[in-house]
Amino acid sequence: MLHQLKALLLALSLWSTIPASPAPISRDDPESTDPGRKGISTTRGSAVVVTANPLASTTALAALKNGGSAIDALVTAQAVLAVVEPQSSGLAGGGFLLHWDAKKRQLSVLDGREVAPERSRPDDLLDGAGDPIPWRQATSQANAIGIPGTVALLWEAHQNHGQMPWSQTLQPAIRLASAGFLPSPRLLRSIRLAQRFGVAHSPAFQALYLPGGQPPAADQPFRNPALARTLKLLAREGGPAFYQGPLAQQILDGINALQASEPNFRGWSSVDLSSYAVVRRPPLCSQQLQHRICTVPPPSSGGLALLQTLALLNQTANLASSSAGEPQIWRQLARTQAWADADRLYWVHDPIDGAVPTAALLDQTYIASRARAMQGTNGARPAPGLPPGIEDYPYGRPDRGIEQGTSQITIVDASGNIASYTSSVETIFGSRHLVGGMVMNNQLTDFAFKPSLGGKPVANRRLPGRRPMSSMAPTLVFRNGDPVLALGSPGGRSIPHLLSRVLLASLVWNEPPARAVGLPHLSCRGTTLVLENDPPLPWPFPLQQLTSETRPRRQSIGSGTALIQKIGAGWQGAADPRREGMALALP
């Protein structure tokens, strides 16, 4: 109890020193960094939790201390994040879980991605002329809200790997939603960002988060009674209550009421909720950097892009003798990011419509051919390649995808079970619509708005019952068959860019966890090279040495990496200092 109290006091002291200043919402960089945060939260021990919020980390650690598994701690942390970090994730969003069962030595993937309702149509986000409606407008549309998968994922994971009673894992979130908590500067700043972005369509959001037109007071407990009631019902009746029964009907009523103001919205049916199912998928693994790196497969494109980036980099750079102080390595990393993006944004879709050729896209011969093509270009936007066994391009070529408010939880328990979980509601506060105190996602804007281009269907087109392409990429790294590193990050379309840099630092440059998460980021977005401005740790060389074909753009990059690494006999954890995350451990 004393350890938890110290952690909570530290959390409160951290919050009191972070100034709240507004920052623009970016389609490529979804959530800004936390200005004023200087220290990097690190820890070491036999069991480690790293989450995006001190209250989530504190309660997750308590679950482990009370005999819970990594999954018990995960359920606790995600429920708390739904209360204290609703701008990034919540019960009405979705996510991907990568779980290592130490006793069975088994790695599994749970896909809890949102699903398009059965009344969806490919043109739901087009205007009367057949053109895409503006992205900003689309995020607030009822047609952007997907059938949530978070609760189903947490329930299934807990049924298979939980040790504590389900109801017990939700108690910390219930207490925080009922009694209140002091809102963090990041939460208050996110509310102001959402206000500028547009909340006029959601009276419920305004009533809860903008009473009297202003964000809640920083020095007064913030309560969400409606969310407390939702959590109590789920604690009492279990995860299936989200999809069938009174709560499901409340969700349907709340969503379908939006038809009054959006006549083009066809609404949801009870079957949309009752038929939702988590999908178990085989992990996507590849031998890279003298390790076996495993991540999540399609419909996420982030894992494929991460593995392709590392493979292309290994083909085109002398990594064995490289260090963080060499600009040419960073420059080549940016180029490989762009080439990996070209493939994943073209080929990835919901596997329900046929297999995505991930094995062919990671084939060594194909990677070598892409590396040669990359070295022979002058910086023009790369085109997708034709992997082995495919003779022509079957799809139209879409614009880049978007993904916004996202959170990462990484946990290892004392038995060696590991959970790496990335969850999201998409834009900051999702659609800004609320039902039962829950922020409703806008994940269906991750589909291509135009279902066909150049007379060909787009792979990631919107269809009923489909899951949109994602960039989430929770990852585990193995050496000699044993897990040695677990990580993931928010960051929207840039997630594989962020994680490729972190893995380069950890596995090639042998940087400790704090430096691996704190070193600068760069992201190649189309033909523009974005360099992190004012990173937690300074650039290891003068930026003038990092030349590119186009003039680089400097800006903040809002990553939130949660990293746990096996070092010696124990585990070390680090939370990205760009957000308010915290790493905590048991001895």
Tens digits of residue pLDDT in 452-490: 999 999 999 999 999 999 999 999 999 999 999 999 999
> What does the alpha-carbon distance between residue 472 and residue 300 come to, in Å, rounded to a whole number?
6
Residue 551 has a pLDDT of: 78
Does residue 124 share a domain with residue 235?
yes
Residue 385 lies in a domain: no
The model's pTM is: 0.94
Pairing verdict, β 106-112 and 47-51: unpaired
Does residue 322 share a domain with residue 234?
no
Residue 456 lies in a domain: yes
Q: Which long-range contacts (CB under 8 A, 24 or more apart) does 547-553 make?
A: 547/331, 548/331, 548/334, 548/379, 549/378, 549/379, 550/379, 552/528, 553/528, 553/529
CATH of the domain at 350: 1.10.246.130
Residue 400 lies in a domain: no
Does residue 321 share a domain with residue 180?
no
Residue 12 has a pLDDT of: 35
Residue 378 has a pLDDT of: 72
Does residue 271 share a domain with residue 147?
yes
Does residue 257 share a domain with residue 141?
yes
Residue 17 lies in a domain: no
Residue-wise pLDDT for 224-246, tens only, equals 999 999 999 999 999 999 999 99
Does residue 287 share a domain with residue 256?
no
Residue 219 lies in a domain: yes
Asked if residue 96 lies in contact with residue 296, where contact means CB atoms within 8 angstroms, the answer is: yes
Does residue 308 share a domain with residue 221?
no
How many domains does one find in the chain? 2
Q: Name the DSSP letter for residue 300.
A: B
What H or E segment, with its residue span, contains residue 247? Answer: helix 246-256
Does residue 310 share a domain with residue 205?
no
Residue type, 293: I
Residue 29 lies in a domain: no
Does residue 487 share a domain with residue 438?
yes
Q: What phi, psi does 98 have (nearest 5°)?
A: -110, 120
Residue 363 lies in a domain: yes
Residue 35 has a pLDDT of: 56
* Residue ranges in the chain modelled with pLDDT below 50: 1-24, 26-27, 29-30, 401-403
Residue 52 lies in a domain: yes
CATH of the domain at 170: 3.60.20.40
DSSP secondary structure of 478-538: EETTEEEEEEE---GGGHHHHHHHHHIIIIIS---HHHHHHS--EEEETTEEEEESS-SS-
For residue 204, give both structure tokens: 């419920």
Give the residue from 357, 376, 395 where a domain finishes: 376
Crossing angle for the helix pair 246-256 and 225-237, nearest 10 degrees? 140
Look up the domain containing 416 and give its range.
41-280+407-499+511-586
Residue 558 has a pLDDT of: 85
> What does the alpha-carbon distance between residue 153 and residue 309 come to, in Å, rounded to a whole number?
29
Does residue 268 share a domain with residue 310?
no
Does residue 159 share a domain with residue 64?
yes
Does residue 290 share a domain with residue 256?
no
> What does the alpha-carbon distance between residue 23 and residue 188 come to, in Å, rounded to a whole number?
12
